Each structure stands twice: as structure tokens, then as C-alpha cells.
């Protein structure tokens, strides 16, 4: 069961390229998602996507690694425990370089099936006994 939530603000700052496609993803029902890290794939069990403000006063480069605006699309994705060993390579902190996380789904647009690839970075991960919840921020969206 997947749950997708959308949010919006009256203050329109810099838009994510292909933000219209992401809005269609928010409105679509029963999409299947897969997380790709390097050559490995992890099925997403549950997902929520929300556009919200983030705790920066102005657009900035975070840690010299990625750019963030004052609003961003945040994703909570739950996957199985097999991803656990990848998490240290994915987070900023002790790492000065980290790998992007690709979140993929298929979406029908104007009658044609398209692959939607969201390039994200990990902000937080929570392990439970059955799953791992990843908190991600969308950096880029590609449509193929």
C-alpha cells in the first residue's frame, strides 16, 4: 500500500526542472517504485512525497556537495533491510563524497508509458526490525 501526499506554498521559488511531471506522479495512484544504488535495486514498500520548506533561509550549496532551495520535494521511502549496508555510503557526514539514490517509477503521460527517474540524496535513515525508512530530497527529475 502506497500513500502519496502533496503540498504547496504560495511562495514560488526556483522550480525543479520537470516539476510538472513530479506533480503528475503525486496525482497518480498505485505506482510501483524501485530504489537504485549503483547496480543494485531495492523495491519500495511504502512511499510518501511532500513539497515543503526546508531549514535554510536562502538557496545554498550544502556541504559543497548539493544545492538546496528553500523548498524541496521530500520523500519517505520504506524498503527492506537489504539496503542497510549501503546507508553509510549514501549520507553526508563522515563522507565528503556520497552516492546519489535513484528512485524510479513508470508513469503514463499522454497515452505513452515513460520512465521517471528521481535523483535524490539521503538526509536520514531509520531502521526498524522489519524495514528501513529513508528520508530523501529530490535533486533532479528525468523523464525517458
- What are the pLDDT tens digits along the chain (144 aa)? 343 444 433 333 444 667 777 788 877 878 899 999 888 999 999 998 888 876 655 555 555 545 555 677 888 999 999 888 888 777 666 556 667 889 998 888 888 888 989 888 888 889 889 999 999 888 888 888
In a domain, 2, yes or no: no
What pLDDT score does 61 carry?
Answer: 55
Distances (CA, A) of 78 to 4, 42, 68, 81, 119: 13, 10, 23, 9, 17
How far, in whole angstroms, is CA 34 from its chain's centroid?
Answer: 11
What pLDDT score does 39 carry?
Answer: 87
d(CA 22, CA 73): 9
What is the domain extent for residue 77?
19-143
User: Could you tell me the CATH number of the domain that includes residue 55?
Assistant: 2.30.110
Name residue 79's beta-bridge partners. Answer: 44, 132
In a domain, 5, yes or no: no
d(CA 62, CA 134): 19
In a domain, 74, yes or no: yes
In a domain, 124, yes or no: yes
In a domain, 9, yes or no: no
In a domain, 8, yes or no: no
Distances (CA, A) of 52 to 12, 101, 115: 12, 20, 25
What pLDDT score does 34 carry?
Answer: 94
The number of domains in the chain is 1
pTM of the model: 0.74
Amino acid at each position: 500500500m502506497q500513500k502519496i501526499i502533496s503540498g504547496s506554498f504560495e511562495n514560488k521559488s526556483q522550480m525543479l526542472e520537470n516539476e510538472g511531471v513530479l506533480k503528475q506522479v503525486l496525482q497518480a495512484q498505485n505506482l510501483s517504485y524501485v530504489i537504485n544504488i549503483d547496480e543494485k535495486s531495492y523495491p519500495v514498500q511504502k512511499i510518501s512525497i511532500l513539497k515543503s520548506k526546508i531549514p535554510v533561509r536562502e538557496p545554498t550549496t550544502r556541504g559543497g556537495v548539493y544545492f538546496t532551495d528553500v523548498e524541496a520535494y521530500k520523500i519517505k521511502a520504506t524498503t527492506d533491510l537489504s539496503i542497510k549496508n549501503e546507508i553509510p555510503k549514501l549520507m553526508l557526514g563522515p563522507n565528503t563524497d556520497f552516492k546519489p539514490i535513484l528512485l524510479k517509477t513508470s508513469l503514463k503521460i499522454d497515452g505513452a508509458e515513460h520512465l521517471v527517474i528521481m535523483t535524490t540524496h539521503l538526509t536520514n535513515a531509520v531502521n526498524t526490525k522489519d524495514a528501513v525508512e529513508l528520508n530523501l530530497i529530490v535533486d533532479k527529475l528525468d523523464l525517458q
